[in-house]
Structure 1
Amino acid sequence: MRTFAISDIHGCCRSFESLLQKIGFEKSDELFLLGDYIDRGPASKGVFDLILKLKEENYKVQCLLGNHEEMMLHALHHPASSEAYSWKIWNGGIETLKSFGTGLVKNIDPKYLEFIYSLPRFIEKDRFIFVHAGLNFSIPDPFADEESMLWAFDDRPVVNIPWLSGRIVVHGHRIHPREQIKDDIGRLDTYPILGIDNGCVYQKKRYNHLYAVELHTMELSFQKNIDT
């Protein structure tokens, strides 16, 4: 069985589907998706539909909550807030709502909202800790800081190696050029933090790809954005 991780799809459904085909994702494999399925790209609904279809067909897919899903839920409960406005205008919410054919989160089919509500903030499996943004190692129990799991922005945090006890943190959220992702894989023995977000939705040099890492071999597969 192979184990893959992918993060920050951001509404790029065609790129996501193409990457799954490229790695030959099978029912015997396991896939961890690290949040931010929505916003900025054109097909947030399509991303959800593909994930739900895979799960219905008994593919092993485990999904985390991302900060963009949290912003969407905030807009659901506080539609007139400045945060809801910011999500729509500056963080890709308008594109997400358009993919659902509505201008309001409350009009989205409840099955999608229920899926988002069901998402955990971290998953621990074997020697890996999967989280969207990162962990706060400045406190005794990094799992106690749920906000950092979605919003941490420190690109090279000081790591509590004894607390990790041989585990590796795999995350997205902060975009890394492909050279850094490759370099970080080579340093996991001494710095056990791996960010795999290459900024699929950002059309600039060294970015604009969706990455999958196979965690037993640490082999990287990538798909250039074919959605935008």
Structure 2
Amino acid sequence: MELVYIFHSGFALLGDGFTVVMDYYMDSKEYGDDGVPHSGILHDGILQREGKLYVLSSHFHPDHFNKEVLTWREKRPDIIYILSKDILKHRRAKEEDALWLRKGEEYVDETLKIKAFGSTDVGVSFLIEAQGKTFFHAGDLNNWHWMDESDEVEWKRNEKYFLYQIDYIYRQVKEMDVVMFPVDPRLGNEYMRGATQFIDKIKTRTFVPMHFTPEYDKANAFGKIAQEKGVEFIPVTHSGQIIKL
């Protein structure tokens, strides 16, 4: 299998006979002034792959759900859309556009299983089981503590909620093969805190950073911590990067 980093928190998982596009925001090349995406790895190849095509979005924020994905059905009427129910609640799509999941719900077919877990912002995170491996896309699940700006009571409350969410996951899933998780430098000095707490709690074989645009060096600095804890770290260096799994 291959994992393709598209942009921001957008990935595509390429397996035998299936493709999963997660949290598409924009393609590996930026949009033009007219709002039309330039050619990129997704439009130029991934969307044309043979086999089943699944599209996942973890929540309604525009950097995780781009309504453009709904137009892909014009060329690929067989697409299976699996979206967080808050997208429907915020009227970003219609009920008939997708299958809708909230925390604790799942989708299963003969190719894969997708379970929705919680978030510390809005929407959900996704655990995908396919070809004997597990892949976790965190969406906006993170320790959004903002401790450089917030008082201690506020950031500790946020942290407590994050730890509750990963405890909920741990009770059902003790280990994961591949984790895509935010390493967002906007949080300040402790921006790697949530990622560290996650891999401390849940055994992670391979970690891929996301939600750091465009500070690659700061996101990849987490590699040292991950490797010290026995986790394989995949540095992300550019949009369109193909990661062999």
Return the structure number with greater relative CO, CA threshold 8 A, min gap 6: 1
| TM-score, normalised by the number of residues in structure 2 | 0.39
Q: Which has the higher strand share?
A: 2
